[in-house]
Amino acid sequence: MNYFSSDFKLGILGGGQLGKMLLFDTRKFDIQTYVLDPSNEAPSKIACNKFFQGDLMDYETVYNFGKQVDVLTFEIELVNLEALTQLENEGLKVYPSPKTLKGIQNKGVQKDFYAKNNIPTAPFERFENLEQLKSKISDLKLPFVWKCTEFGYDGNGVKIVRQASDLDTLPNVECIAETMVPFKNELAVIVVRNPSGEMKTYPVVEMEFHPEANQVEYVICPARIHDKVAEKARAIALQVSENFNHVGLLAVEMFQTQDDEILVNEVAPRPHNSGHYSIEASYTSQFENHLRAILDLPLGNTDSKVAGIMVNLVGAEGHSGNVIYENIETILGWDGVTPHIYGKKQTRPFRKMGHVTIVNEDMAEARRIAQEVKETIKVISGQ
């Protein structure tokens, strides 16, 4: 198949920042792209060959979009599965496959999958709705982690329940109650796999979280952990990938327990926040490798050239409206600092608006600069 400067068309469901960063690499290779997104102001709109506005959960919209392309991928999991399945049945290459997505879209199904495949994960119970959970609360050990099984993202749909009354503010939806794991570190490993079965893992990264927003503040690569723990994490990530039989990128989020066990928390079958550092720090970025994988091209080198730390740029508290980025000029004057602005015109508290990557030979120095970036740059709204 000739993908380059040809009639070949790659379709992408979702036109957010992940799509926009993926399109950097399709443009580098001159691969034609069609993008479907509900918003007419989607970040990807400026970078694709053809943009379509439409509902990703609507069967007809997704099906008709898929009929116009040669390979279909997505940058968000909330897409119409029936349409993807039908397109695949009619011979369209859909990567990752609807079958893989089906096992991941619902967190309850995902957790059952780990249990069935002997993949280490925190103990959990599934409930049809909040009422059922409330009726069984006396059987559960407090505190526990409540998760809605669908439509949760970025800290939405996850809550720590410390007392029964905490349930009163939660929606009456299908959910899981998960044992709270006292962990040392939150880690992630990105696995890339093509249809021919070639597989690679990126180095283990460590995630530092914002205490209130339940959102990643820093992603640190390589993780500051023992080599043996890193080897174990990469091996488990490969096992998860093989069991899901996925094609493309799979981000595997994990906990490192106090006694250095690795537990899988959840996965995302697409480019992921924990891999953004790779644009500046790796030989091959996660986006280029996702592209190589879904087109069944040889996978690129996943090693890092240099230590990298990513800082998420999120909307400041108390600010909603037209976005203004303060002090970007300042950080552009610092060595090894690269801001990425996603192109969302409207900010709101904790909304992901961009990220900054810091690369340095010295990890401690990179972390110090990352802290300074975080304190210097402000994402606010204009009047």
Would you list the domain boundaries of the chain? 9-94, 123-179, 183-381
Report the alpha-carbon distance of residue 6 to residue 29 in Å, rounded: 11
CATH architecture of the domain 183-381 equals: 2-Layer Sandwich (3.30)
User: Does residue 265 have a known ligand-binding role?
Assistant: yes
Report the alpha-carbon distance of residue 208 to residue 308 in Å, rounded: 14
User: Does residue 178 have a known ligand-binding role?
Assistant: yes
pTM recorded for the entire structure: 0.95
User: Does residue 345 have a known ligand-binding role?
Assistant: no
CATH architecture of the domain 123-179 equals: 2-Layer Sandwich (3.30)
- Taking only the tens of pLDDT, the chain with its 383 residues reads 899 999 999 999 999 999 999 999 999 999 999 999 999 999 999 999 999 999 999 999 999 999 999 999 999 999 999 999 999 999 999 999 999 999 999 999 999 999 999 999 999 999 999 999 999 988 999 999 999 998 776 667 889 999 999 999 899 999 999 999 989 999 999 999 999 999 999 999 999 987 776 678 899 999 999 999 999 999 999 999 999 999 999 999 999 999 999 999 999 999 999 999 999 999 999 999 999 999 999 999 999 999 999 999 999 999 999 999 999 999 999 999 999 999 999 999 999 999 999 999 999 999 999 999 999 999 999 86
User: Does residue 161 have a known ligand-binding role?
Assistant: no
Report the alpha-carbon distance of residue 82 to residue 101 in Å, rounded: 11
Give the model's pLDDT for residue 383: 63
Quick check: do 9-94 and 183-381 share a fold?
no
User: Does residue 373 have a known ligand-binding role?
Assistant: no
**Fold of domain 9-94:** Rossmann fold (3.40.50)
User: Does residue 118 have a known ligand-binding role?
Assistant: no
User: Does residue 191 have a known ligand-binding role?
Assistant: no
Give the chain as a 3 state SS string.
CCCCCCCCEEEEECCCHHHHHHHHHHHHCCCEEEEEECCCCCHHHHCCCEEEECCCCCHHHHHHHHCCCCEEEECCCCCCHHHHHHHHHCCCEECCCHHHHHHHHCHHHHHHHHHHCCCCECCEEEECCHHHHHHCHHHCCCCEEEEECCCCCCCCCEEEECCHHHHHHCCCCCEEEEECCCEEEEEEEEEEECCCCCEEECCCEEEEECCCCCCEEEEEECCCCCHHHHHHHHHHHHHHHHHHCCCEEEEEEEEEECCCCEEEEEEECCCCHHHCCHHHHECCCHHHHHHHHHCCCCCCCCCECCEEEEEEEECCCCCCEEEEEECHHHHHCCCCEEEEECCCCEECCCCEEEEEEEEECCHHHHHHHHHHHHHHCEEEECC
Give the model's pLDDT for residue 210: 76
Pull the structure tokens for residue 96: 């990752």
Give the model's pLDDT for residue 152: 73
Count other C-beta atoms under 10 Å from residue 169's C-beta: 7
User: Does residue 186 have a known ligand-binding role?
Assistant: yes
User: Does residue 179 have a known ligand-binding role?
Assistant: yes
